[in-house]
Structure 1
């Protein structure tokens, strides 16, 4: 089914022409692909979106007092002149991730009545950058936050300590920008060098004409380069810049050698790399934002393959974000109540759709890379096994999430067509053979995450729980229906799932060193029962988890661990009760244990609930 209004990008004429996609481009994206022409069409629509947001901002400011800054019309006329004189240069600035992030930030702040004159006054800085790139003369006043101002695609001026908001005089002539503040005048270098009051935005490149050259901005300056509120610059030293250059070169080699179609699309769609600090557990962190189209945030990866898969992951978000700016795929309720197999918190439908698409891309990466790892004679056998695991796990995550999206009832006609095509592509992988031991491990981690999510976020009906307590006293054995659980979005929920996933990976890479993981941050909450479970001793795991529950019935990981151990022992019925409705077992046990502490076996109660409960 074609997308609604399918056509070439901006095929209509006139002042109100609408952007759409060709059927081919829509099908490409729905199949998890999208080459350079499709990405170019997304950029085209993104430019129109930025222009609309700019006009909306101008209209918003039209009747507001000017304060110490010049009237908005002054900046607007400069933008119009620059666009007329040098449209390509202005387009490059307006399409920079920093301008997109700033425009969205302004409207979010306005919706909360927080849009200060300094925030919206960045329009003057954008106009200054555009006038300079067009080689036109322009003078204005620009806001400084903490003595700093970011000039898109050029860099950051920093005048030292100042009040939260101040104003500087700025002008440009013949492409050169000069900024004056409290007696200090800075002429911005045009050769990419730094000064005492100026950091230049740097670029790094890799590749060659044969494989394809990737050039990106290395952004450590833009205050809106992160996903949330403005942050200070985090200037990389020369050694760190070189390190990122080398990391990118090695990851790019992986992509161009084994994932050429993705690499080709990235050349036109990945424009900015934002270094992030390492995660608290040492894991590689990555992120992207639809507002900052083309930008990828990533912490230093441990190896080229990890970096490559992170880029693939985030580039999928970029492509889908561009499509979702153009076509509505979801509608209706966006409450955060849906299960995402890669998140520890409930998600809204739009966010879940984004995650499904990204994990499809991750699975596709590992689907190819496992073949590469198996054929690489110099690679360790454990590396091939890990690639196999990552594929099996990501494929399961994508399939599980996609099923939830398709059953949500919140898809538009375009959303239905999109997910049907994605499901068709994902379904074509069903026949891929995976080593049985690896498949079992991936299933174990998948079950652990789903059960862990349910026991933390789902609450069964109180009346049904009390009914079960009474039936337990009678040892009732007929079928009982338990109503649907409610979902608590709990936005403050911390991450909790890294331990068992990390242990699964460790059991592949270094099975004889699993217990040594207790000294690492990510494994801090794992217990001996977890280690027994992931090293194949299901009996010890079951006993260990049961003892933990008797000691503390609220140890939710002990309950899910018990379900996993029962599954490994072949006790299917009891395991399903804990893996599919763990919140019910926990709620009933709490009530019974409160009246008769330590007198009920968690295993016996679980087996009974499995016997009587119906879905």
Structure 2
């Protein structure tokens, strides 16, 4: 199969500027599709070369040459259809996943040939669309044969392979004693789940993936068939979300339409905690949980499209020269992030900020209050991240120019007025997440940690050397399973925009949290103190107490909670008095400690 091009890909200056601004860049997105096609073919070529050295590559399936020959013949007959299949996000995920298996010598289940068999299934799909007569054996995964863009067949029993046969336009899939006709109304045949919406002349056409084993960005997955009700809900939400996007952000809608091809739905998550994901290996595909409402879905489409664009741009340009030994604070994550991840997040959230900036002007009631809050929260958090990126010293010249344009975009939002209640809530939740992140992830040097704890236990004053040296000695550790750093922000969202069906509970929330968000500060402080007496090392309770308190202890906990946590984690004496520990630390703390700027990232412990 020919690549049909020999030209090297370049990033046009206009396209670079459009992508950095993130608006009205649909022509640049089309150019990225062309470069992503080349990237996909390079990965596929590497994969085929790697297969050649593996005797177990195809198992009971036909040789790779046979699958490749069928794909090539289909390409010569119907190039557009073959291109559509190869451009599928699932093909990118499959190729990258399988290449990793081959290069790492992965012998885990399933056998390698099961993954390799996706090439045979893709070749069969291309040949069906080209109208060819052929016969080829393909892999059956989780009782299903998936033919990308054509559909899927379910086969009962434990058969591992099936035969796809096409004769004069009649296609059957036979596994064991069962045969399913492609395109029929038989129970075993499942056509693609398509969703097509149009608003003011702008069309979006996607496939909802529920059976393809490579639809999940995280790992190959078993089918999760959508019910008729779920399909109806997704189509209805998508239609309303598309109306919002076209009406409020037509330029971004055009970019989404130019780039998005598939959505892999997963079950609804907790309210105000949606799951969305995309990956550089799957340009044009996103994984989304069923949204709370169409506005949330619209925001998620903007968010993941931003990731797609930057991921594809990074296949062409280096924006970061990363020091992998250092990590940074990202307000949208629980764990310390490398600089490249920080840039990805900043770019994605610039799109989110722009979405909420416009949507709040059309929303009403609780939806408007929530939109104001989201806009205020993320413009504050993202501006801080952009400033961290700027002083990191790890950007290439292209990266510096890209970031400068992001900064311009963010700076233009800083004077936009936000109602006082939502602005105050946003500032409080920004401080909450940052302090919670530090409390969990930031560590003193071991000798400082031990010296501080020993002084507390012996009743001595905090060592001045520890406090003075705290900043330079900080490191971070990754705690990927922290969870629920956003709990009080979720409670805030519920209070601003009550749901028709309120949740039975918000995971991670305590009675003290409910009191805090309701404005009952005395009850909140008492609740957090009681929690700390039971569990002195509860970062959640320490930071909650800070949000309900005032004075130097508030500043200490919100800006450098790692000092309190160093002692609390090692505390063994009972009863424990949280307020006495705060008073002890703040009495010996120089004022300069609470004014120290964040370092240029932290060294990984």
Normalised by the length of structure 1, the TM-score is 0.87
Which residue of structure 2 lines up, in the alignment, with residue 425 of structure 1?
A: 409
1:334 shift after superposition: 4.1
Quote the offset at 1:236 in angstroms. Answer: 2.0
2:172 to 169, 178, 181: 178
Q: Is the 8 A contact 1:481 1:613 kept in 2?
A: no
Give the structure 2 partner of residue 545 of structure 1. Answer: 528
User: Is the 8 Å Cα contact of residues 334 and 350 (structure 1) preserved in structure 2?
Assistant: no
Residue 564 of structure 1 pairs with residue 560 of structure 2: no
1:384 and 2:378 correspond? no
C-alpha distance 599-412 of structure 1, shift in aligned 2 (>3 A): closer
* d(CA) in 2 for partners of 1:281, 1:383: 14
Preserved CA contact (<8 Å) 1:451 1:580: yes
Equivalent residues of 1:281, 1:521 under 8 A apart: no
Alignment: residue pair count: 581
Aligned CA distance change for structure 1 residues 118 and 418 (closer, same or farther; 3 Å): same
Alignment partner, residue 376 of structure 1: none
* 1:173-572 map, 5 Å: 173=167, 176-189=170-183, 194-208=185-199, 210-280=200-270, 283-334=273-324, 337-373=327-363, 379-380=364-365, 382-469=366-453, 473-475=459-461, 480-482=468-470, 483-491=472-480, 493-509=481-497, 520-528=504-512, 530-566=513-549, 569=550, 571=551
CA contact (8 A) 2:453 2:566 kept: no
CA contact (8 A) 2:532 2:578 kept: no
Q: Distance in 2 between matches of 1:270 and 1:593?
A: 55
Alignment of 1:587-598 (within 5 A): 587-589=566-568, 594=573, 597-598=576-577
Give me the whole-angstrom Cα distance separating, in 1, the residues matched to 2:22 and 2:191. 36
Give structure 2 stretches of 5+ with no counterpart: 597-605
8 Å contact from structure 1 (residues 502, 523) kept in 2 = no
Q: 1:169 aligns with which of 151, 163, 166?
A: 163
In 2, distance between residues paired with 1:510 and 1:132? Answer: 50
Q: What per-residue deviation string (whole Å, max 9, x for no partner) do you get for residues 70-105 of structure 1?
A: 221122222222223322111111001221121111
| Deviation (angstroms), 1:612 | 6.3
| Superposed displacement of residue 386, structure 1 | 1.8
**C-alpha root-mean-square deviation of aligned residues, in Å?**
2.8
Secondary structure of the 1:431 match is: coil
| Aligned partner of 2:39 among 31, 49, 69 | 49
Quote the offset at 1:226 in angstroms: 1.1
Q: Is the contact made by 1:40 and 1:268 (CA closer than 8 Å) also made in structure 2?
A: yes
How far apart are the structure 2 equivalents of 1:476 and 1:114?
52
- For structure 1, the 5+ residue unaligned runs are 1-12, 374-378
Q: Distance in 1 between matches of 2:166 and 2:325?
A: 48
Indicate the residue corresponding to 2:14 in structure 1.
Answer: 24
2:207 aligned counterpart, secondary structure: strand
Q: CA 1:612/1:432 → structure 2, altered by over 3 Å: closer, same or farther?
A: closer
Higher mean C-alpha deviation, range 591-600 or range 400-409: 591-600
CA distance in 1, matches of 2:498, 2:82: 53
Deviation at 1:460, TM superposition (A): 0.8
Partner SS for 2:349:
helix
Does structure 2 conserve the Cα–Cα contact (< 8 Å) formed by 1:341 and 1:400? no
How big is each residue's C-alpha offset from its partner over 1:480-510, in whole Å with a ceiling of 9 and x where there is no partner? Answer: 321432211123x142123201221233236
Please tell me whether the aligned partners of residues 132 and 174 of structure 1 are also in contact (alpha carbons under 8 angstroms).
no
- Matched residues in 2 for 1:394 and 1:360: separation? 8
Range with greater deviation from structure 2 (357-366 or 478-487)? 478-487
Deviations for 1:150-202, whole angstroms, at most 9, x for unmatched residues? 11111112211215xx222223345553322224333311xxx5423221112
Describe the shift of the 1:538–1:152 C-alpha distance in structure 2 as closer, same or farther (beyond 3 A): same
Cα offsets for 1:41-85 (capped at 9, x unmatched): 011011111111221122122243354222211222222222233
Cα distance, 1:405 vs. partner?
A: 3.0
Quote how far apart the aligned CAs of 1:14 are.
10
Residue 101 (structure 1) aligned to one of 79, 93, 110: 93
Q: Closer, same or farther in 2 for the Cα pair 1:595/1:22, shift >3 Å? A: same
Change (3 A) 1:46 1:105: same
Contact map agreement 1:169 1:181 (CA 8 A) in 2:
yes
Q: Secondary structure at the match of 2:54?
A: coil
State the Cα distance separating 1:371 from its structure 2 match: 1.6
